[in-house]
Structure formats: structure tokens, C-alpha cells
Amino acid sequence: MKVAIIGAGVSGLTAAQHLTTRGFKVEVFEKSRGLGGRLATKRLDWAHMDTGAQYFTARDPRFVQAVKNWQQAGVVEPWPFTPYSISADGALLPSPDQTLRYVGVPGMNNLAHALADNLTVHRNQCISQLVRNKGRWKLVSDSGDQFTDYDWVIVSAPAEQSRVLLNGHTPIAEQISSELLEPCLALVIATTGPVPKAVQGIFGDSTVGWVSRLSAKPQRTKDVAYDDLWLLHFSSQWSADYDPIAAEDIVPTGLEWLQHAIDTLPNQNQQKPLKLVNHCQHYWRFARMAKNAQQPPTLIDKTNHLAAIGDWSHGGRIEGAYLSALHLVDTAF
């Protein structure tokens, strides 16, 4: 049986791996040049930077086991640190928790590369149309390429994009809400200037929701031109209000926010201010699940041999993406 999987993020690649192990002939189609989807590491000449998911946690025993295997294979490592958070009066304070956090090494999307090992992945193929012909599926890409004779098609794109692709072919399309995933504006800044080593991750406020000190993650290399590399994820609301077309300069906003937070640390305001060395930004139109999002029921159409998977169908996050794939493989194949 031949299966086409649209999307080479965690969910698509996990489904592909498990189906291949079970003896199915699988092909993955990815619209980007890179693998991993929102598990993204951008590689520029001055830095390698994770711009999407910053770390992941593991709770379900099946995912815990997978993480152990990846650790043994040297693909992921724990990122141990005490997070900081912004208190009600705006001060940056340690906020200890028991959460075990993991990252891909040396970049988040190295996990995707490991998942894609031995798989057939057609990169730079944005699938824009599905066509049913004599009980089998044909995929058409936006450049006009055609891929034929699939028994099953699994769509693993973010919710809104999956709905558009499946629309008119299956009733499951109607169960996918367009409001499941919220946007996120990501800003990476390289800085010089002293910041206490303990500050590695910050739960922020209504402007910047999360900060990672990327240069403190395990196995990251750093250019000598700067002391630190920071990733700021602007909050969902702030990102939704931001107009990517007008492209307002967010660098001063982000740098000021970080400087202000650091200045509230003991003895820090006597230090030299952070100096910007370089920066880069990325707008995620579909980033994370909205807090009160209504998760759709299982999205498997056994009559038409179509299914939709992804973090948004399993509670969000990398763990959800992984589990959505396992659930599909166990239920439908």
C-alpha cells in the first residue's frame, strides 16, 4: 500500500517512520527546502538559531520512551535551567519548576533530520490539490508536478492549511476550525554586554511571551562577534496585532524589553547596557494552539482514505504532534 504524507514536521515524519516500519511504501511532500516545520533552526552565516519551538516536554509514556531513544542516539539533550518570570511589578525573578525540558542538538531541527532518516522526502513541493481517480489519489503541486497512485493521503499541515487542502474531498475538513493556531512573531538578537549566566529562559508578559538565551542551550556554537544570542517570542496578542506588511521595526522594542527586564536584576543596572550586534526575525502565521481552542475529534476518513494529523489535533506542542501520528497509525493502518 502506497501512502502520501503532506508535511515534513514532527507529525508527518513520525507517521512516515512508523508506517515505513510496518511495511508501507511512504512518500513525504514538503513545501519548504528544510525539514521540521515549526521545529525550525535557521542557519545564517553569523548564527544558527531556533526560531520556532524552543524546547519540548514529555509526559505520555510513549513519547517519554521516544525521547529516551533520541537521547541515546545523540539527537536531543536536556536543557536544564531555572526559568525566570516577570513579576506583577515588572521585576525579573527566578521561577523554579520541576519541568524537564529537552532540545534538539545542535539545533532543534536536528530531531527532524533524524526522523527523516531513510525516508523519501520530496522537498520544495507545495501540494495544492488532491485528485481522486479510480479509487486512488493524485497529488498536484503548485508548480504543476503530479504524483500518482496513492492509496492513502495523510495531511499534516497546520489546521487552516489542512482544511483548505481536504475541503470538498472529505467530511473531516469541516471539523477543522480555522481558529486553532495563533500567530507568533520571533525576533533573534545578538548582543554584547554582561547578563548573569543563570538567566536562560524567561516567561514574559503581554508584549514578549517567552525569551530563550539561545547561546546557553546545549551544544550551540557562538560567533566571537557577540556574547549572547537571544530569541524573543512576542505574545500571541501582540503578534496578532502586528502588521507584517507594514513591517514596523520590532528590533528596538525587543531590545528595550530585554534590557528593561535585565535591569531589574540585583546590581545589574550599574552594568553597561546591551549592545546590538545583529538581528533576524520571522513571522509564524500559525504557531501555537489558542488556549481555549476546541480540539477536533479524530480526523480519519476510512472511506476516502484521507486523514489529518498535527499538534492541533492533540493538544498542541511537539508531544501532541508526535502522539497525533501514533494515534493515526494505530487506528487506521
Binding residues (CB under 6 A) for ligand FAD: these are 6-12, 29-32, 37-39, 52-56, 126-127, 156-158, 161, 165, 184, 186, 233, 284, 287-288, 310-311, 316-318, 321
Give me the least distance between CB of 268 and ligand FAD, in Å please: 26
Give me the least distance between CB of 273 and ligand FAD, in Å please: 27
Residue among 238 and 284 whose Cβ is closer to ligand FAD: 284
Residue among 117 and 269 whose Cβ is closer to ligand FAD: 117
Cell numbers given for 34: 528544510
Strand residue runs (E) in 118-221: 120-122, 127-133, 136-141, 146-150, 152-155, 181-192, 201-203, 208-213
Cell numbers given for 156: 499534516
Altogether, the residues listed in the chain come to a count of: 333
Closest C-alpha among 114, 101, 100, 111 to residue 41: 111
Residues whose CB falls within 8 Å of the CB of residue 77, separated by 6 or more in sequence, listed in order: 71, 102, 103, 105, 218, 219
Give me the least distance between CB of 63 and ligand FAD, in Å please: 10
Give me the least distance between CB of 75 and ligand FAD, in Å please: 15
Rounded Cα–Cα distance for residues 42 and 179 (Å): 27
Give me the least distance between CB of 89 and ligand FAD, in Å please: 26
Residue among 215 and 236 whose Cβ is closer to ligand FAD: 236
Rounded Cα–Cα distance for residues 152 and 135 (Å): 10
Residue among 56 and 70 whose Cβ is closer to ligand FAD: 56
Give me the least distance between CB of 185 and ligand FAD, in Å please: 9
b/e map 5-25, b = 16+ CB within 10 Å: bbbbbbbbbbbbbbbeeeebe
Residue among 43 and 275 whose Cβ is closer to ligand FAD: 43
Residue among 38 and 220 whose Cβ is closer to ligand FAD: 38
Cell numbers given for 325: 501520528
